[in-house]
A and B are shown apart, each in its own frame.
Chain A
Amino acid sequence: MTCNEEMIPDINPAIILREEFDDWAILFDPDSNTVFGINPIGVIIWKCIDGRRTMRDIMKMLHKDLDDVPEDAGTHLNEFIDDLVKRGLASYTNL
């Protein structure tokens, strides 16, 4: 599954975001006992996912909050959220 701009991601409510050192973090799934490391940008994206915002909305927020967002950021955002979905950490609500 590859996402598009209208898709609305939502986090798996069982997942814990642990902000550990500096702005780095892990996502912990207590059911599977697995952890997934994310960088500071990943943390910002995770916090934007609320089950209401579309991918386009999230992209807009990144542009608003961050300087020097690269041109291919949309592709990276799609890949990141697809990865979260594959790992069971998030899902798309409007499929």
Chain B
Amino acid sequence: MSLMKTPRSLDLEITSRCNLRCRYCSHFTSAGDVRDDLPKDKWLQFFQELNSCGVMTLTLQGGEPFCREDLKELIEGIVLNRMRFDILSNGTLITDDMASFLSSTGRCNGVQVSIDGSIPTTHDVFRGKGNFKRAINGIEILRKYNIPVPVRVTIHRQNVRDLDDIAALLLEEIGLPSFSTNSATFFGLCRKNTDQVQLTAEERSLAMKTLIRLSKKYDDRISATAGPLAEARDWLVMEQARKQGEGHMPGRGYLSGCPGPTSKLAVRADGVFVPCSQMSHIELGRINKDPLKEIWQNHHELKRLRERGNIPMSEFEFCKGCGYINYCTGNCPAVAYTITGDEYHPSPDACLRRFLSQGGVLPDEELSLENG
């Protein structure tokens, strides 16, 4: 497969700091949880290199990006170097002044805000008291300045029965065009709090069924690339293939769940290049020291990750005797790493056979497939 000469976009963890300590935060206690934030001048120097490499978009994340006192100056550097930007935020620190500034740049694709409940109880249970109100206020401020707000709902044990009301709040009451979902995943702090936050097989079944129904009700305005909604859609396809006795499905039967870094790369808060924010243990080099283009095109770890899709599922003891082996992709390498210690292994969390053996139930097939 052809590789772009340079990445189109980068995820930058511009800070390791955050004003919250959400109990399923993927950042804290991960390899990306570094002690020191890179100073402003180092980022600004790096943006010049990104300009010369033709990078189009930066996603600013953390930590909480709005914790950086010099955020405006960083954004001015992004604009000066001909790029656009997105921000991932908990929404609690957004002010009129900041929203006005973001809007004035003309380069902000949007600020993603996390909303995990329809009421303070379900949002604040793992994010801290008062933060539902603050996040909703943040969304309202951003919308006042016409900044797109792609809300993300992280599903966990305390909000899995609140999904109908969350959808009604976001899509009807607030009037967002859409929102996306995932679920608390075995990264960062979630690893310590998994019994409290991660869905059981029964709750996962409920989440899948509910999200499929809501997605239909709201004309596909609910999306997902991971978590119960994405799993429901993927697993239904696998189940149908198994029932119909299909020998193989194109692109499946191999560790093809993630093609590796083919269009984007990430940088930790200390300036270390990593393949993705969730695989911050794989250090590829350091900004302003190692050229981005050289790392992108020639680093052996990236080459290896990009070839992960050639590894057949049949190589793994974990997959022996599985009826879904020819239809499975092994899913996310980062989750595989946090669970097994090996990113070149299928993710046990995404294993349909395991889900069913734990008592999980797939949603009604007709409803799911009808809904795409």
B84 interface hit (Cβ, 8 Å): yes
- Interface of chain A residues 6 through 57 with chain B (CB within 8 A): 14-22, 28, 30-31, 33
Cβ-defined contact, B54 with A18, below 8 A: yes
> Are A33 and B109 CB-contacts (below 8 A) given A16-B82, A22-B2?
yes
For B1-15 the 0/1 string (1 means CB < 8 A from A) is 011111010000000
Number of A interface residues at 8 Å Cβ cutoff, please give it.
13
In the bound complex, how far is the Cα of B6 from the Cα of A1, in angstroms?
36
Residues on B with beta carbons closer than 8 Å to the beta carbon of A21: 2-5
Are A17 and B4 closer than 8 Å at their CB atoms?
Answer: no
| B107 x A16 contact (CB < 8 A) | no
By DSSP majority rule, is chain B's interface helix, strand, loop, or mixed? loop
Contact residues in A for B8 (Cβ distance below 8 Å): 18
One of B2, B4, B51, B107 near A31 (C-beta < 8 A): B107
What total of chain B residues lie within 8 Å of the partner, measured CB to CB? 16
Task: For B115, list chain A residues within 8 Å (CB).
Answer: none
Which of B3, B54, B79, B106 meets A28, CB within 8 Å?
A: B54
Partner of A18, one of B56, B79, B107, B109: B56
The answer to whether B82 touches A14 (Cβ under 8 A) is: yes
The verdict on B83 contacting chain A, using a C-beta distance below 8 Å, is yes
B77-128 with Cβ < 8 A to chain A = 79, 82-84, 106-107, 109
Known: A20-B5, A21-B2. 15 other contacts (CB 8 A): A16-B51, A16-B54, A18-B6, A19-B54, A20-B4, A21-B3, A21-B4, A28-B54, A28-B56, A30-B56, A30-B83, A30-B84, A31-B106, A31-B107, A33-B109
Interface residues of A (CB under 8 A from B): 14-22, 28, 30-31, 33
